[in-house]
Amino acid sequence: MPVDRRLIDILCCPVSKVPVLPLSRTRREFVNRQIDAGAVLDVEGLAVSEHLDEGLITRDARVIYRVEDGIPVMLPDAGIGTTQFSDFPS
């Protein structure tokens, strides 16, 4: 179940306060390939093992937040920083 667009319009990163956008399919597939390779850590430094079915990304493309059953998981430690990827799609 996708996140309601009206909700996305008011959500922002809990740390930087940068607004978020839906994570594109290209970026989601990239992150999922990195997860398969065991190469993804969340902000807390823990390995991410579950694929992203849906996600939100800050407008500055620095942090990704998981969406589970249509509910954004906007916890600061649960974010996935994109700076850990040398070739993150733009």
pLDDT in tens, 10-37: 999 999 999 999 999 999 999 999 999 9
pLDDT category at 83 given cuts 50, 70, 90 is: very high
Per-residue model confidence as pLDDT tens digits over 32-44: 999 999 999 999 9
Q: Is 35 left (phi over 0), alpha (psi -120 to 50) or beta?
A: alpha
Per-residue model confidence as pLDDT tens digits over 45-77: 999 999 999 999 999 999 999 999 999 999 999
Q: Coil, helix or strand for 16?
A: coil
Residues contacting 32, CB < 8 A, separation 6+: 51, 52
